Amino acid sequence: MTPIRIAVIGSGPAGFYTAGHLLKDGPEDLEVDMIERLPTPWGLVRSGVAPDHPKIKSVTRVYEKTAAHPRFRFFGNVELGRDISRPELAQHYHCVVYATGSPADRPLGIPGEQLPGSHPATDFVGWYNGHPDYCDHDFDLSASRAVVIGNGNVALDVARMLTLSHDELAQTDIADHALELLDASNVREIVVVGRRGPAQAAFTNPELLELGELADADVIVDAEELERALSVADPNMDPTSERNVSVLRDYSRRAPTGKSKRVVLRFLLSPTELIGDGNGVRTVVMARNALQGGKDGRLRAEPTGETERIDAGLVMRAIGYRGIALPGVPFDDRSATIPNEGGRVLRGRTGVPVDNPQAAPANVLPSEHPEATPANVLPSEHPEATPANVLPSEHPEATPAGVLPGEYAVGWIKRGPSGVIGTNKKDAQETVDALLEDLAAGTHLRPSEPDPEAIEALLAERVPALVTYEGWSEIDRHEQAMGESHGRPRVKLTRIEQLLRVAAGEQPDAEPLDTLGLR
Ligand code: NAP
């Protein structure tokens, strides 16, 4: 009997909770292969969670248990669209679950945004966490004031990271390049700016409370501005926002204690322009806002016509992450998510088509096939067949619900970049319940090569430096051993080449470079 083969694309919390639920709740012949672009697993737990939050990172112990399951395999250094296409996945798996997160930043769309010294916070976060895509980024920390735009937890992470001392950072798994640069940082004041008020801030309580306990920085809140921002009652206040308001009121009553740095929390300000000189950003022009109720009951920031200028040589835009279209996979550009209903992928506009001659519509059964359902059929020669093998929703053969059989989304690429790590557990349960219900009903892809060895052989041929879970365990052991002598949880390898060498059992700086077929 051929096992039920499931591919999970992406190895962050959403991917791992999905794998865990599948292996726990699914039939005993269900197998999970996880495909990950990087040589390392854990997604934002490794490259998003701030280095000074080791407790949050310890959630990987749960994922390690899933990875140790005999019906689980990890294939790292494999990119969907580069090394394997969506139609090829359909040749090998009964179901595919996309768990690719929201890796891009959201732009502000204001003049001067691209000036040197103005960065998406996502770049800074990736950089201090040693994500290989960001390790060559350059941050000039010579200015005395930084402005962080946004009132979410990422804004707080960035502000906090700019205040931590060498001793605080040196006990963490922060990337060495970031430790060195932050050590020499000249930033003394970090102004965190929200376009709405304290009651609308997206901070969670522990993160806001932590800001008041920084060893080297006073937290400053102007009482008059705070109360002005609170003068319009918000009908959507929840216990988290009520607690945030009370914490912020407490901060507004504090007198600065003369610590070497300050974090200033400002409200009702929207950046409208960044002005620079030859050396980069120098001033942030802000519109002052007032809160107004919208038709949906949500309070909106409306400009009052007044402006304010804040001089700063470093600007971090922490206004949220954004999903990226996967080649050939439906994508809703407005929400930057995969269109879905409870995790079931819906037909729709597709992402960038795969430039791959093998990208034939392989996951569709010809309509006359006895197992074909009206929902999953569009023969490749059909005049309306797209290269991405997606039925337009108005197609006569599309199901009323427009569901693409056998394809699922989970995590941020399913619901957008919201919630904390644990939110993905419940989210994954919803997707897995839908998948298992569909499996039981016989609604899934019809892989022509479901043999687990077939996909392994294909990947090994395409990706000479394929990283298995054993390869990642080598990296993990190496990083932890490097950290041990310095009292750190690990010293991260930040370059793909180093990671691949260590995964293959070599030293990180071994020569020659191309023995692993490195691209
Ligand atoms: P977020 O929580 O969605 O916050 C984004 C902030 O940016 C909001 O204050 C939003 O204000 C503001 N914003 C959006 N567009 C703006 C614009 N054009 N101009 C000015 N401000 C704008 O996003 P995030 O901070 O990136 O965090 C992403 C998710 O990861 C969140 O769920 C967060 O809780 C989670 N996270 C958790 C932790 C942790 O648990 N320690 C750490 C980091 C991240 P409006 O409300 O007015 O739209």
- pLDDT tens-place values along the chain, 519 residues long: 789 999 999 999 999 999 999 999 999 999 999 999 999 999 999 999 999 999 999 999 999 999 999 999 999 999 999 999 999 999 999 999 999 999 999 999 999 999 999 999 999 999 999 999 999 999 999 999 999 999 999 999 999 999 999 999 999 999 999 999 999 999 999 999 999 999 999 999 999 999 999 999 999 999 999 999 999 999 999 999 999 999 999 999 999 999 999 999 999 999 999 999 989 999 999 999 999 998 888 999 999 999 999 999 999 999 999 999 999 999 999 999 999 999 999 987 666 444 333 333 323 323 323 333 322 322 332 333 333 333 333 433 344 458 999 999 999 999 999 999 999 999 999 999 999 999 999 999 999 999 999 999 999 999 999 999 999 999 999 999 999 989 999 999 999 999 999 999 998 986 654 555 554
pTM value?
0.90
**150 CB-near residues (< 8 Å, 6+ apart):** 121, 192, 193, 194, 317, 318, 319, 320
In ligand 1, which atom is closest to the CA atom of 320? 26
* CB 165, CB 216: distance < 8 Å: yes
User: Distance, CA 194 to ligand 1 centroid (Å)?
Assistant: 10
Point out which residues pair with 6 in neighbouring strands: 32, 95
User: Distance, CA 495 to ligand 1 centroid (Å)?
Assistant: 29
Point out which residues pair with 486 in neighbouring strands: none
* CB 186, CB 236: distance < 8 Å: no
User: Distance, CA 296 to ligand 1 centroid (Å)?
Assistant: 20
Which residue has tokens 């407790």? 55
Mutate to test the pocket of ligand 1, among 154, 232, 240 (most ligand atoms within 8 A of CB): 154
Q: Which token pair is 156?
A: 């707080």
Sheet holding 280-293, edge to edge: 269-277, 280-293, 299-311
User: What is the Cα 380 distance to its own chain's centre?
Assistant: 34
Which secondary-structure segment (H or E) carries 190? strand 189-193
In ligand 1, which atom is closest to the CA atom of 154? 25
User: Distance, CA 150 to ligand 1 centroid (Å)?
Assistant: 6
Q: Is 266 in a helix, a strand, or coil?
A: strand
Q: Which token pair is 362?
A: 């392989």
User: Distance, CA 67 to ligand 1 centroid (Å)?
Assistant: 31
Residue 376 is predicted with a pLDDT of 30
In ligand 1, which atom is closest to the CA atom of 319? 7
User: Distance, CA 104 to ligand 1 centroid (Å)?
Assistant: 13
Mutate to test the pocket of ligand 1, among 58, 195, 205, 265 (most ligand atoms within 8 A of CB): 195
User: Distance, CA 153 to ligand 1 centroid (Å)?
Assistant: 6
* Residue bearing the CA closest to ligand 1, atom 15: 319
- Cα separation, 239 vs 237, whole angstroms: 7
Task: Provide the pairing of β-strand 261-266 with 189-193.
Answer: parallel
Q: How far is CA 230 from CA 246, 299, 308, in A?
A: 11, 11, 20
In ligand 1, which atom is closest to the CA atom of 108? 18
In ligand 1, which atom is closest to the CA atom of 207? 41
In ligand 1, which atom is closest to the CA atom of 122? 26
Pocket of ligand 1 (CB under 6 A): 108, 149-155, 157, 194-196, 200-202, 204, 207, 270, 318-321, 417-420
User: What is the Cα 306 distance to its own chain's centre?
Assistant: 36
Handedness of CA 355, 360, 362, 367 (dihedral sign): positive
* Residue bearing the CA closest to ligand 1, atom 7: 319
* Residue bearing the CA closest to ligand 1, atom 14: 319
Virtual torsion, Cα 412, 247, 216, 186, nearest 10 deg = 60
Amino acid at 69: H
Residue 354 is predicted with a pLDDT of 40
